[in-house]
Every structure is written in C-alpha cells, then in structure tokens.
Chain A
Amino acid sequence: MVNPGLFEGYETGSFYDEMFSSPGQPRAQYTKLFQKLASMAPSQFEERRKLADLSFLIQGITFTVYSDGRGTERLFPFDLIPRILPHSEWEHIDRGLSQRVMALNLFLQDIYGKQTILKDKKIPRWLVYSCPNFRREVIGVEVARGIYTHICGIDLVRDSKSGDFYVLEDNVRTPSGISYVLENRLVMTRTLPEAFQACEVLPVHHYPAELARILRSLSSRGEADAQIVLLTPGIHNSAYFEHSFLAQQMGIELVEGRDLIVDGGIVYMKTIRGLQRVDVIYRRVDDEYLDSLTFRPDSVLGVPGLMGAYRAGTVALANAVGNGIADDKAIYAYVPEFIRYYLGEEPILKTVETFLCANPKDLEYVLEHLPQLVVKAVGESGGYGMLMGPTADRAKLMDFADRLRANPRNYIAQPVVGLSRVPSYDPSTGSVAGRHVDLRPYCLYDGEKVTIVPGGLTRVALQPNSLIVNSSQGGGSKDTWVLRGED
C-alpha cells in the first residue's frame, strides 16, 4: 500500500469516481499516476500548480467575462490532476462518436437537400420547420464536398450510477475549447513530466494540421493556391485566444469581418498589396451574424454579401451554415433514429431519454414530474436557459411550468444524469476532493472519415457539489489522457 499523501482522507462518495474503484484503491489506468502524485508532498504539488497558473497567465490563455461591465480577462482554471481513460474505453467512444458525426452530416445534407427523411416520416416535418436554427436560406445550396460538420465538439458525461457514457449535446455549430486541450497538454508535460512519461499517453498535437488539411480540401480553386482564413468576431470575443491560437498553429490568416469584402460574388481580404481572393473561411462567427444582407441587418461582425458568394460556391464555410438544426435539443432525441435511417446501424453511444414538451403527452408528464427533471431550452447552449428540477425552489418550478405551457416547442426535459467525479485540487484548502466532470472530444470530418484527437477537453465543476462545468459559471478544465495500447 502506497502512502496516500495528497489523497489522504479522499472520499469517493456515492459517485462514480474516475480514479478510485473504492476508497484508496486506484483503477488500473490510474495506478502509475497515483504512485507519482502520492509520493509528492502537498507543498511540492502546490508549487507545481502555481507554476502552471503562471504559465497560463504569461501566455495570455484567458477568456473574457463581461459580468463586471469592463470585460476583464480571466484564467480558465486548470486542475493539475488529469482525467485518464483506458485505451479500450476510448476506442468505444471513438467508434460511437464517428458514427454519430457521419449520421449528423447525412442528416444535414438531406434536410437542406432532398428531405427524404421527412418524406419517409422518420421525423415530424413540423419539428424541423419550427426550429429557430433551421435556415431556409441555405436549402438547395451545394456545400463543398458535401461536408457540413467539419468540426464537432460532442459533449459526453459518464453516468454516475451505471458508469456508462452518454451523449449530452452535439455542438455542431462553432464549438470551442480545443485550444485548451492543446495548451493544457503542453503545460502538463512541463509541470508533471515524470508522471506524464510514466503513463504513456497518446498525443493530441496533430489537431491543427488535420483541421488545416480538411480546410484546404474545400477550396474551389485547388489546394495549392487555397487562401484560408479564420474569421473571428474580434478581440472582445470570449474565445478570442483560441481563434488566434488556431490561426497561428495552422499558419492561416486571422481576419475580422472588416478585413473582408465581397465584390462580384467573390470574397477578398484587404492587404497592404491590394485585394486578395479568399477561398475557405473557418468561421467562428455565428450564422445570424455572418452576413447583414441575409441575416441580422445590424451585424457588423460579418461580411455583407458573404452568403451570395457561399451560394455561388466561390467560397467555402466551415462549419456549414444551418448546422444549428442538428444542435436543437428536440432534434437530439432523433439522432439514434438518424443513425439507423442513414447508416443502417444501431447507435453505439447512449443518449439521454428526452421528453419533447411539444408533444402534449410528454408535456403532461414533464409538468407532473418537474422536480425530478432537467428542463432545457432547445436552442441554447453553455448551460443557459436551464432548470435543474431537484435543486430548484418552488417559485422557479412554477415559473418554468408557466414557460413550458406558453411555449412548449422551446423546451425539452430529461432525467438528471449524475456526473462522474475526478479528484481535483482545491487551492483554498490545500487538499484533494472529488469534483464532477464531463468530456468534450473534438471530431474532424473530411467527407470520408472522422478523426478524433484522443481524449478531448475534460471540464470540471470546481465548486463542491456543482454540476455546472461551463467556464462562464465557475468551471475549469483538466488534461485528458488516453493511454497507449493495452490497459
């Protein structure tokens, strides 16, 4: 038995603990890390932690919060104890995600094309057409190489009771967070090199090259001359760091809307040597802000006329416009059906049972069981517009019940999924305690196969007992290790 050191008094509670199968007994994939960490004095650990924090600060790896009205930059808290997945489990996840991404892409092709799935009545027409993120403007548009979902950041959680992974959200619009995966890894290898080396972890650093390869393949003028840019809303966007990081890693130009101009159906960027044609835009601007002539007329973040060029096929956008339909939380309930319909396969990953409040029967059930359910607005993400039934007070429950009755199409409800926990360091007490986590792997689709960097972003709710992992609401992140070879 190793001296528990840092893990002295650690309690797994009634939750699935990623590190310990029972108190003091690390799981196989965690054995080596446990030995390394347990042999470390708390003061030594604290020192390493401070080093890691400083490294993030100096590199400016921050996100911007606007709650104080000034837009201050904050560190995205990083927890030094990694989340480890055994190889076999990762293979299962990888297969399941690949299957899901293919099905989502086929669904988007279909729904903005022939709509056979509607004709075959596998999903109600009204549900699709009532989705606020369904974009009629792109029906019939031929997207480059038929790819809609170039990048997906699918959120998974491990159910605290069964220990199984569930898909929670698909995030096929403009998912962010990959830069933290890459930077976390870099800082981790610098901060805990001995532990990292001992565990034999699969690398993640090929992500930018793979993404760049896919973007290049979308150019209508051939790959050699392809001018690829990353369109950012600008320095005040909370994910700005990621935009500049990815542009730099891929060696492409980081542009704002004001750097681009559309002339004669072609997109150009303004350079010191005149206008230069742009072929592919990796856009991190939401659909409704992309083009003030097509979408929101008050948007200054986009490029007037961009959609004209997109329709004409002179410029490719990644991800495609209109993907929000697949992100709709009511559509989520049908993804297993998509997998069966388009691929003829059974879904590999589980999804959470979902009640569509738009169905009168479901609505009735939801209203009766509100205190046991999670209610979500269909078009929201990032933990906004949610009701956590079990922790909500009476007034909040009443308020949501009214909202559900008033606009049932806007809501779905699900049973509460408990999140697994990983030991995490609490700087305020100097000790390690269990904190809930989710997992967001990043999937890249090149039209033929799906590539997923092993692991992904493990987000952690740093507040005790909290289930909310979003960075805007007190969440942090961990490095995610997928081990090489046999477990």
Chain B
Amino acid sequence: MLSRIAESLFWLARYIERAEDTARILDVNYHMLLEQSQQSYRLRWEPLIIMAGEDKLFRKLYDEVNAENVFEFLAFSEENPSSIVQCISKARENARTIRDRISREMWEDINGLYYTVTRFHPREEIAAGPHRFCDKIKFGAHRFHGVTDATLPHDEGWEFLRIGWGLERAEMTARLVDVQYHNLLDALPSVGAPDNHQWMAVLRSVGAYEAYHREYHSAIEPEKVAEMLILHFQHPRSIRFSASEVQAGLRAVSGSGPGAYGNEAERLAGRVVERLRYDRVSEIFKQGLHSYLEELLRMCGAIGEDIARTYFYYAVVA
C-alpha cells in the first residue's frame, strides 16, 4: 500500500472521530445547561473551548463565552480548524484523494455527509440549538463506521483506519476527563454543593451513562467516572479500549506476535495499554489525574509521530 494512502486513511478516521466527539460533547453540555442556574454558565462553556485546544483563537474571534458563540465556533467556524464542519470537510478531502482505494459505499457516504453538513445554515441551527445538528454528525459517523466495516476488506488499509480512530478517541477522551475534572475541582468550593450534573454530562457525552449504572450500581462519583473512562476494558470509548485498538491495528500491520513489537509506535502503544491494564484509579489520583492524563496524551502524540516516521514519510534521498 502506498504510504500516502495509508496516511490519508489514518487521517480520514481521525477527522471523523474528532467531528463525532466534538458533536457529542457539544450536544450533551448544551442540554445539561438548560437545567442549570445562570450563575455557573460561563464556567460550563469554557472547558469545551479549552478541550478543543483553541481557547486563544476563540478569544480572538469572539468577545463573549456564551452558548451561541461556542456552538458556532465548535460546529461551523471556518477559522477553527477543528470545528465539526472543518473536520468533515477534511475527512472528505482525504477520502477523495483515495477514493479509488475505499469502497464506493464509503465514498458516497462521506460525500453525502459532507453535503448534508455544509448545507446546514449556521444561523438557523444556532437558533434551534445544537441537538439536530449534532445528532446528524453522531449518526453520520456511526453509519460511516458501519459502512466501512461492512464494505471495506479488513486488510492493512482497514487497520490504518482503526489506528486513526483509536488514537483520536483515546486523545479526545483523555482531554475530556482532564478538562472536566479540573474544572470541577476548581468549581466545587464556590458552588458549595456536590455537583453531579457535570459528571453525568461527561458520561453521556461518551455514551456511557447507562453503562456506568450497570457497572457500579451507585451514585455518580468522580473517581468511578474517571475509572470507567480511563481504565474500563470493554467500554468502546475508554482510553484503555481505544489504546488497545491502536495496538491491535499496529500489530496487524507489522505482523508482530503478542509480547513483541516491530517498531517504536508499537512499543509505545504496548506500554500505554499495559499501564492502563495494571494501574488502579486510586493510584492515578495519588499521582494526580491531570499529570497522569498529560502523560498519556504525550505518549499518544509520540505514537502518532512514530507511525508517521515508520509508515508515511520517506527521507529525501540526495
């Protein structure tokens, strides 16, 4: 497989995943806010901007942090390279450069999603609230997963998609937990009472609210939420599960057996997975959640770079 094609598949998956995760977070937070007091308003929106990693850009573009601005910024903005519409456009652009290598169904699906998304009128959607829009994205992404799974041969190209999906999801979940936890700790003294709504929203945004209750049979406690989102071995959006996907994909490409690794990306992915397998949530909190997640994010970044070095880039030969 051409290196350029592997790279495009990897990014295609990453952009789709980023669009979906952003849509989920936006949708849930928006609706949670409807039930909230005005007092904590600004506080709730800020984390979303920070999570997108674009708080500086946001401040440059808008005077005020409010629901409408945040929605526009995260969903539609052409200035924001990670806005949902931008992600879908880039996903489609990547698909277009490799449309001869993906299934016709995949191409038509992502192309259709692109036209759906770009034909939304931002003003109308902002007035109507983000649910309708976010739902389209969420199900668009799910459908794309389904179409891919059902129509693309599960060969090395499919593995690069899987690696892209896993890596992006691991990073997004790590950022989500980090930012929300940080925010909650800061907020607790001033709000005065234990606030579960924020954590419920976190769970909902990764589709883990019901699963949490089945798992823990208890009220929502930050530590358990963190445990579920970081360490759970079966929940498809936990960091551990996502990292395992990356590792499995990398192994399938290189053909390395269990316990072995063929390149630096695989070694790092293995290290992340093993860590998440044996760490306890109490230990994580002892180390400090923020520094723990930062470390994970750093490793994810390094995995991405090593994948590129191993499979995508060729040194210029003189």
Contact = CB atoms under 8 A, between A and B. Distances in A.
A51 interface: no
A40 interface: no
Interface stretch (A54-62, A77-85, A93-101, A105-113): A54-62
Interface in B1-40: 1-4, 6
A327 to B, nearest CB: 28
Contact of A60 (B3, B98, B99, B156): B99
A244 B98 CA distance: 8
A209 interface: no
B115 interface: yes
Interface residues of B, number: 24
B79 to A, nearest CB: 16
Among A254, A270, A272, the most chain B Cβ lie within 10 Å of the Cβ of A272
Interface string A241-262: 0001101100001111011010
B314 A270 contact: yes
A319 B174 CA distance: 53
Nearest to A263: B317
- Top 9 A-B residue pairs of the complex, sorted by shortest distance between their CB atoms: A248-B100, A247-B100, A244-B100, A272-B311, A254-B100, A244-B99, A60-B111, A270-B3, A272-B6
Given A58-B108, A59-B108, A269 B317 contact: no
B100 A60 contact: no
Contact of B4 (A59, A244, A256): A256
A57 B115 contact: yes
A60 B96 CA distance: 9
Given A60-B96, A247-B100, A270 B2 contact: yes
Contacts of A255: 2, 4
A271 interface: yes
B199 interface: no
23 contacts: A58-B108, A58-B112, A58-B115, A59-B108, A60-B96, A60-B107, A60-B111, A234-B97, A244-B96, A245-B100, A248-B101, A253-B2, A254-B100, A254-B101, A259-B3, A261-B317, A269-B2, A270-B3, A270-B4, A270-B314, A272-B6, A272-B156, A272-B253
A272 B314 contact: no
Contacts of B3: 259, 270-272
Nearest to A57: B115
Contacts of B97: 234-235
Interface in B270-318: 311-312, 314, 317
A235 B90 CA distance: 13
B115 A271 contact: no
B125 interface: no
A234 B1 CA distance: 18
B264 interface: no
A270 B253 CA distance: 16
Contacts of B98: 254
